[in-house]
């Protein structure tokens, strides 16, 4: 796709290539519907894991599951920032997060358990894992990222589609959501110590996550089987 035309040039170009444009839009929508299908497949798997865990353990391992398809403008922005030529093929081959699912868990060990159970399913192919919980980003960001491929079954074929699954605790989600909002409203320089303070907040939250997990284990360890079923 030509990206350097000025707006009038682009308009003239599009008017002269209307058939190409319509074909392109149809193919783009087809590709997005495949990402939608992949989101449904992975979300269903997560919901089944959630309810099975709930039945066996009388507590929830997943607080919420949200999903989104990356908007066309964000797709273009990301590809341009990475210097990737924009085409339907490169969207598919080069972008990992067109389909995104965010899983929020109560405790840190729930994250690793859910991630392991998902990865172990024989129709899921794990492409990459970034563990920003054991290896937080410089700014304090923590989350467990999995890029997976899942089969979707179409009328005439099966296709493997990539989905990014981000898993985090409620506390990590609180920090990441606010940091994302603040970061996108304004470019943060470190002149007022804001970056450092945000990182300190992330560290405090991580410490609280660890203490809450420890408390849950101590409470569970102190329970008799009868108390456990209350
Ligand atoms: P948005 O608007 O959330 O979609 P890759 O995708 O692997 O080629 P990338 O994008 O560096 O390269 O991957 P990474 O580090 O796994 O980050 C992917 C996503 O994680 C981001 O998507 C964010 O959603 C989230 N993320 C990563 N770092 C941060 C951070 O410092 N703060 C917050 N709040 N979220 C973060 P996008 O496309 O950047 O944004």
- Nearest-atom number in ligand 1 for the CA of 166 is 20
Q: Quick check: 100 and 32 in contact, CB under 8 A?
A: no
CA gyration radius for the chain?
Answer: 22
Mutate to test the pocket of ligand 1, among 84, 180, 181 (most ligand atoms within 8 A of CB): 180
> Measuring CA to CA, which residue among 74, 45, 70, 35 is closest to residue 162?
35
Residue nearest to atom 4 of ligand 1 (CA): 70
- Nearest-atom number in ligand 1 for the CA of 175 is 34
Per-residue confidence (pLDDT) for residue 221, from 0 to 100: 86
Mutate to test the pocket of ligand 1, among 67, 94, 97 (most ligand atoms within 8 A of CB): 97
Residue nearest to atom 27 of ligand 1 (CA): 141
Beta bridge partner(s), residue 128: 147
- Residue 23 Cα, ligand 1 centroid: separation in angstroms? 31
Ligand 1 pocket, CB under 6 A: 78, 96-97, 130, 137, 139, 141, 145, 176, 179-180
- Residue 203 Cα, ligand 1 centroid: separation in angstroms? 19
Residue nearest to atom 39 of ligand 1 (CA): 78
What pTM value is reported for the model?
Answer: 0.87
Per-residue confidence (pLDDT) for residue 62, from 0 to 100: 98
Per-residue confidence (pLDDT) for residue 168, from 0 to 100: 98
> Measuring CA to CA, which residue among 114, 80, 102, 112 is closest to residue 4?
80
pLDDT in tens, the chain (230 residues): 444 556 777 677 667 777 777 888 889 999 999 999 999 999 999 999 999 999 999 999 999 999 999 999 999 999 999 999 888 999 999 999 999 999 999 999 999 999 999 999 999 999 999 999 999 999 999 999 999 999 999 999 999 999 999 999 999 999 999 998 887 556 666 566 888 889 999 999 999 999 999 999 999 887 654 444 33
Per-residue confidence (pLDDT) for residue 146, from 0 to 100: 98
β-pairing verdict for 99-105 and 158-169: parallel
């Amino acid at each position: 796709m030509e990206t350097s035309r000025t707006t009038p040039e682009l308009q003239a170009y599009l008017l002269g290539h209307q058939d190409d444009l319509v074909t392109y839009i149809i193919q783009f929508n087809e590709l997005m519907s495949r990402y939608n299908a992949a989101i449904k497949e992975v979300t269903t798997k997560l919901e089944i894991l959630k309810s099975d865990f709930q039945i066996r353990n009388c507590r929830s391992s997943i607080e919420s599951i949200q999903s989104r398809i990356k908007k066309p403008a964000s797709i273009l922005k990301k590809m341009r920032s990475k210097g990737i030529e924009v085409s339907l093929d490169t969207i598919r081959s080069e972008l990992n997060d067109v389909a995104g699912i965010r899983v929020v868990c109560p405790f840190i060990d729930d994250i690793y358990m859910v991630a392991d159970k998902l990865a172990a399913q024989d129709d899921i192919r794990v492409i990459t894992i970034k563990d920003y919980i054991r290896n937080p980003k410089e700014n304090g960001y923590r989350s467990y990222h999995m890029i997976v491929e899942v089969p979707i079954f179409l009328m005439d074929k099966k296709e493997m589609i990539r989905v990014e699954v981000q898993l985090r605790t409620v506390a990590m989600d609180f920090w990441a959501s606010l940091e994302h909002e603040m970061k996108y409203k304004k470019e943060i320089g470190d002149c007022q110590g804001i970056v450092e303070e945000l990182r300190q907040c992330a560290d405090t939250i991580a410490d609280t996550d660890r203490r809450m997990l420890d408390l849950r284990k101590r409470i569970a360890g102190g329970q008799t089987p009868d108390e456990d079923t209350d």
